[in-house]
């Protein structure tokens, strides 16, 4: 009985672990992007999320009186420029059309009229 | 089922080997099928570990003493809940628990990252399975929990009485969860270095695991402290025990990492530092595990020393440390900072300083903990160290740390103007100065450490209150929300920041409890007869009467005490000295009930302002060289009579013997009655017993502070939903081709 139990577990483990090897090679390579490209995108997405958080943090610092108006404007402008750069890099990696190159436009990206839902703010 | 258990361990070992090979092969050749197969090996390891662990728990629950570990750590009289917990009270069982938790948490991270980190994940999988391979090798060949005997005893030794406590059921799994979860950021960091993918992704993937590990270690440490306070009979909660320190070191390093990682996320700075820190944290988790397993340093928590295990662990730690150092040096060009500190008046500058203090603290604890071994290696003599060796270094560093816990939240990222700084410091600074004035006028400078810590803690609490107040005011101005709604919205939308503030507040509260309970503690021993009293810390404690109790698990000698403040009775306490039966037949059929393991049931009256804590020791006041001197003649007489009866029964035919020795035999009822009769001597002719009495102020705030820290950490752990929404929206904006509209939009002023 004990032998049979172990045999059943062994069979289940072998089937479960080796199952991905049964798929044809083309199936895995066709549907998913190359690892390097995917990792670039993931890295940039993580950097973008961190930058968005930083923008919101700066805004919260400003609203709670930790940053003066001048400091906030300086920091916010630089953060948004950095974020635009990350978004451009993301577009480049994904093969999408490039974002506007004009730094002035990037610096004032927040003023683009938006009917869309806003991101979490303070 | 022991055979199945043993076979499962071998299977787990093979799964680890296969998974490592498959992951590395998949990563090198780019064949996703092999990578997926390697990842599935971790899931399979998890499944196999669950079944093996269930088999072992089953053996404990049904008192299967053919398993060596069950006979060692359980008995028929051990309560069911403790039978399950007894699994990890043994070396073998706890190693299996390590594998179970490692495979579970590894499965979780690999499942969550199955479509991300495509280059890093296979190497991380191989490293995690490497840890699995190490521990499965130990359990399979050197500490097999499924080892059995062909001649099982009828009764087990029983679980160590000191471990029969609710907190002890949760303390080891939590610490092991902390240790095993720390291997996850470690594995991903190593994989990131190998693959040159040292960007933001591995941090985004594993940050939450680092925080969860920090939380588990923190809760484990707090539960251990609580257990020490209510179970060990010395009235303290922290003794700088090597095994306690082994959990504290990775906790301190993880605290540093969780702060410094924010600097890397936001500014791209401190990459070498963060990488080194998480690798050191991972290594320290294994060192912590080694300290518990090895018994190389004397500790109440450690298992018995095993040379084979020790050599294996030292080899693993050597490989981890050397490999980590090599990788960081090798990949140093990839770890250059993207930015420099804009100003020393910024949050990142404070975080950096705080990091240095935390690492210094961890190094101090590590050095002093291992000093006995170091001194033995150099001089041949093992020097013992205790709390006084730690205090001169730990106290000043801890004070700086608390102060920084208040300064950090006040400052903004990147830079702060002096005017802004003055504004931010005004209220907390005033609170701190006010607290200092009050304390100096009431307490004076006698307890300087406590005074400084109270001032720092009040400063931190004022900072946190100010931060919440400012945030609420901002939301009120922006959205017209009422204060309660604004608080909830503020925390929900900024979980990481406000969760962190709550943790800081909890730390301040906890340290108030520590400072008060160590500096203003009253403690004394008093040997009393019933009716006599002793005064301590403004209270009078009266020994009212002795008590006895007997059950199938233990017998106990106790005392009822009344506590008075002046003439007013404030509490009734009951302490007991509990004795668990020994399985050693040489102690005699009656004597073994009085000569086994012992523990204390302490009397505790806990309140927000003070704890009154008592422990009774009936041995010390017995007036005899024997512990239970006054009872010893009676025990000897009963032993002789019982042995005589058993000898007579031994001369009878086998069938008659079986009948007379069956569990329902009147012989055992007579034995139990005799034990109760002997015990009753303690109440009929009570002798003077010794009490340890402690009155400590504000101890409760230590536990409350710990709970606040847990709440803060849980809040910080939850930004997953908010962040996923952010990500989804950002992806939506980007994919909709609306260019830079993916940026956060400023709220109207």
Q: What is the pLDDT of residues B553-565, one digit of tens each?
A: 788 899 999 999 9
pLDDT exceeds cutoff 60 at B722: no
Among residues B743, B537, B35, the alpha carbon closest in space to that of A52 is found at B743
The better pLDDT of the pair B602, A93 is held by: B602
pLDDT exceeds cutoff 90 at B533: yes
Among the ranges given (B27-36, B356-365, B532-541), the one the predictor scored with the smallest mean pLDDT: B27-36
Q: CB distance A32–B416 less than 8 Å?
A: no
The better pLDDT of the pair A3, B360 is held by: B360
Q: What is the pLDDT of residues B264-320, one digit of tens each?
A: 888 778 889 999 999 999 999 999 888 877 767 766 666 666 777 888 889 999 999
CB-based contact, B447 to chain A, within 8 Å: no
Helix B307-330 vs helix B166-195: angle between axes, to the nearest 10 degrees?
Answer: 40
Residues for chain B: how many in total?
A: 749
Residues for chain A: how many in total?
A: 122
- The residue assigned the tokens 């093996």 is B52
Beta-bridge partners for B522: B695
Q: Which two tokens stand for residue A23?
A: 């798929």
What is the rounded distance in angstroms from the CA atom of residue B684 to the CA atom of residue B676? 12
Q: What is the ipTM of this complex?
A: 0.77
Highest-confidence segment of B153-157, B513-517, B726-730: B513-517
Closest to A84 (Cβ–Cβ): which among B200, B733, B740? B740
What is the rounded distance in angstroms from the CA atom of residue B48 to the CA atom of residue B54? 10
What is the rounded distance in angstroms from the CA atom of residue B57 to the CA atom of residue B45? 18
Q: What is the pLDDT of residues A41-65, one digit of tens each?
A: 777 887 888 888 888 888 888 888 8
The better pLDDT of the pair B379, B404 is held by: B404
pLDDT exceeds cutoff 90 at B96: yes
3-class SS of residue B315: helix
pLDDT at residue B662, as a whole number? 75
Arithmetic mean of pLDDT, B37-55:
95
Closest to A32 (Cβ–Cβ): which among B32, B204, B738? B32
What is the rounded distance in angstroms from the CA atom of residue B587 to the CA atom of residue B595? 7
pLDDT exceeds cutoff 60 at A118: no
What is the rounded distance in angstroms from the CA atom of residue B82 to the CA atom of residue A62? 54
The better pLDDT of the pair B43, B205 is held by: B43
Q: CB distance B747–A59 less than 8 Å?
A: yes
What is the rounded distance in angstroms from the CA atom of residue B724 to the CA atom of residue A120? 11
Provide the chain B residues 386-415 that lie in CB contact (below 8 A) with chain A: 410-415
Q: In what order do the strands lie in the sheet with B568-579?
A: B533-536, B539-550, B555-565, B568-579, B598-601
Chain A closest CA to B737's CA: distance in Å?
Answer: 8
pLDDT exceeds cutoff 80 at B130: yes
**Res. B745 pLDDT band, cuts 50 70 90:** very low
Beta-bridge partners for B556: B549, B578
pLDDT exceeds cutoff 70 at B135: yes
Percent of residues, chain A, with pLDDT higher than 90: 10
Chain A residues with CB under 8 Å of B34 CB are: 20-21
Q: CB distance B51–A9 less than 8 Å?
A: yes
Cβ-Cβ contacts under 8 Å for B417 (sequence gap 6 or more): A68, A71
CB B250 within 8 A of CB B217: yes
Element (H, E) at B727: helix B720-735
Chain A residues with CB under 8 Å of B48 CB are: 9, 13
pLDDT at residue B117, as a whole number? 77
Number of neighbours of residue B179 by Cβ within 10 angstroms: 27
Chain A closest CA to B604's CA: distance in Å?
Answer: 45
Q: What is the pLDDT of residues B9-25, one digit of tens each?
A: 999 999 999 999 999 99
How many inter-chain contacts (A to B, CB under 8 Å) are there? Answer: 225
Q: CB distance A65–B3 less than 8 Å?
A: no
Among residues B128, B111, B240, B112, the alpha carbon closest in space to that of B182 is found at B128
pLDDT at residue B734, as a whole number? 46
CB-based contact, B733 to chain A, within 8 Å: yes
Percent of residues, chain B, with pLDDT higher than 90: 46
Arithmetic mean of pLDDT, B404-417:
85
**Res. B441 pLDDT band, cuts 50 70 90:** confident
CA angle B427, B429, B432 (to 5 degrees): 110
pLDDT exceeds cutoff 60 at A122: no
3-class SS of residue B545: strand
Number of neighbours of residue A72 by Cβ within 10 angstroms: 17
Q: CB distance B726–A119 less than 8 Å?
A: yes
The better pLDDT of the pair B610, A37 is held by: B610
Q: CB distance B412–A21 less than 8 Å?
A: no
pLDDT at residue A3, as a whole number? 85
Cβ-Cβ contacts under 8 Å for B156 (sequence gap 6 or more): B63, B65, B70, B71, B72, B73, B74, B75, B76, B78, B583
Q: Which alpha helices (DSSP H) does B113-165 contain, by range?
A: 120-137
Among the ranges given (B258-262, B649-653, B723-727), the one the predictor scored with the smallest mean pLDDT: B723-727
pLDDT exceeds cutoff 60 at B729: no
Q: What is the pLDDT of residues B261-273, one digit of tens each?
A: 988 888 778 889 9
pLDDT exceeds cutoff 50 at B445: yes
């Amino acid at each position: 009985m004990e032998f049979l139990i172990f045999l059943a577990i062994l069979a289940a483990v072998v089937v479960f672990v080796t199952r991905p090897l049964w798929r044809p090679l083309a199936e895995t390579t066709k549907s998913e992007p190359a690892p390097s490209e995917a990792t670039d995108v993931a890295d940039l997405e993580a950097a973008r999320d961190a930058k968005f958080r930083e923008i919101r943090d700066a805004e919260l610092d400003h609203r709670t009186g930790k940053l003066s108006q001048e400091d906030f404007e300086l920091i916010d402008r630089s953060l948004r420029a950095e974020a635009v750069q990350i978004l451009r890099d993301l577009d480049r990696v994904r093969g999408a059309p490039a974002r506007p190159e004009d730094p002035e436009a990037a610096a004032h990206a927040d003023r683009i009229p938006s009917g869309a839902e806003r991101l979490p703010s303070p | 089922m022991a055979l199945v258990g043993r076979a499962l361990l071998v299977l787990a070992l093979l799964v680890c080997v296969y998974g490592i090979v498959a992951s590395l092969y998949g990563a090198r050749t780019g064949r996703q099928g092999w990578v997926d197969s390697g990842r599935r090996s971790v899931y399979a390891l998890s499944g196999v570990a669950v079944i093996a662990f269930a088999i072992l728990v089953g053996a404990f629950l049904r008192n299967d003493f053919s398993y060596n570990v069950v006979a060692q750590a359980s008995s028929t009289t051990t309560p069911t809940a403790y039978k399950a917990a007894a699994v990890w009270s043994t070396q073998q069982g706890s190693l299996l628990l390590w594998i179970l938790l490692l495979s579970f948490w590894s499965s979780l991270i690999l499942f969550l990252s199955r479509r991300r980190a495509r280059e890093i994940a296979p190497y991380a999988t191989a490293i995690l399975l490497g840890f699995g391979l190490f521990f499965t090798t130990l359990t399979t060949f050197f500490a097999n929990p499924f080892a059995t005997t062909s001649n099982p005893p009828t009764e087990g030794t029983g679980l160590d009485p000191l471990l029969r406590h609710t907190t002890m059921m949760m303390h080891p799994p939590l610490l092991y969860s902390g240790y095993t979860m720390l291997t996850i950021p470690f594995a991903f960091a190593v994989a990131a270095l190998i693959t040159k993918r040292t960007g933001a992704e591995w941090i985004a993937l594993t940050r939450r695991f680092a925080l969860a590990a920090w939380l588990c270690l923190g809760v484990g440490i707090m539960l251990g402290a609580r257990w020490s306070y209510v179970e060990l009979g010395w009235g303290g909660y922290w003794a700088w025990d090597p095994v306690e320190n082994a959990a504290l070191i990775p906790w301190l390093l993880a605290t540093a990492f969780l702060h410094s990682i924010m600097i890397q996320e936001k500014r791209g700075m401190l990459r070498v530092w963060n990488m080194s820190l998480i690798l050191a944290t991972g290594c320290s988790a294994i060192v912590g595990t080694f300290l518990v397993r090895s018994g190389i340093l004397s500790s109440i928590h450690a298992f018995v020393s095993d040379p084979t295990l020790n050599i294996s662990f030292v080899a693993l730690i050597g490989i981890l440390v050397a490999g980590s150092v090599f990788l960081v040096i090798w990949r140093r060009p990839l770890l250059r900072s993207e930015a420099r500190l804009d100003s020393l008046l910024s949050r990142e500058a404070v975080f950096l300083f705080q990091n240095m203090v935390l690492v210094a603290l961890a190094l101090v604890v590590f050095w002093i903990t291992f000093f006995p071994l170091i001194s033995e290696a150099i001089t041949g003599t093992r020097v013992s160290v205790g709390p006084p060796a730690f205090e001169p270094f730990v106290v000043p560093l801890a004070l700086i740390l608390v102060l920084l816990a208040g300064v950090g939240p006040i400052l903004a990222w990147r830079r702060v103007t002096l005017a802004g700084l003055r504004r931010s410091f005004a209220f907390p600074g005033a609170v701190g100065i006010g607290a200092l004035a009050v304390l100096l006028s009431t307490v004076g400078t006698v307890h300087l450490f406590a005074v400084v810590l109270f001032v720092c803690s009040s400063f931190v609490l004022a900072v946190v209150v100010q931060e919440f107040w400012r945030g609420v005011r901002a939301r009120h101005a922006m959205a017209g929300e009422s204060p309660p709604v604004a608080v909830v919205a503020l925390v929900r939308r900024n979980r990481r920041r406000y969760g962190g503030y709550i943790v800081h507040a909890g730390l301040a509260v906890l340290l108030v409890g520590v400072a008060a309970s160590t500096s203003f503690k009253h403690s004394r021993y008093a040997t009393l007869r019933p009716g006599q009293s002793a005064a301590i810390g403004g209270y009078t404690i009266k020994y009212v009467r002795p008590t006895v109790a007997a059950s199938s698990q233990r017998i106990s000698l106790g005392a009822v005490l009344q506590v008075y403040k002046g003439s007013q009775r404030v509490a009734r306490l009951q302490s007991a000295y509990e004795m668990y039966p020994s399985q050693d037949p040489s102690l005699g059929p009656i004597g073994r009930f009085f000569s086994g393991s012992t523990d204390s049931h302490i009397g505790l009256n806990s309140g927000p302002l003070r704890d009154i804590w008592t422990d009774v020791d009936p041995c010390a006041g017995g007036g005899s060289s024997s512990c239970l001197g006054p009872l010893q003649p009676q025990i000897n007489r009963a032993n002789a009579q019982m042995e005589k009866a058993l000898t007579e029964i031994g001369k009878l035919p086998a069938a008659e013997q079986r009948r007379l020795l069956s569990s329902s035999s009147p012989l055992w009822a007579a034995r139990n009655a005799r034990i109760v009769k002997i015990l009753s001597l303690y109440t009929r002719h009570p002798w003077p017993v010794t009490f340890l009495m402690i009155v400590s102020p504000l101890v409760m705030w230590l536990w409350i502070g710990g709970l606040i820290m847990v709440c803060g950490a849980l809040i910080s752990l939850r930004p997953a939903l908010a962040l996923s929404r952010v990500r989804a929206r950002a992806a939506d904006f980007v994919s909709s081709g609306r260019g830079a509209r993916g940026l956060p939009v400023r709220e109207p002023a």
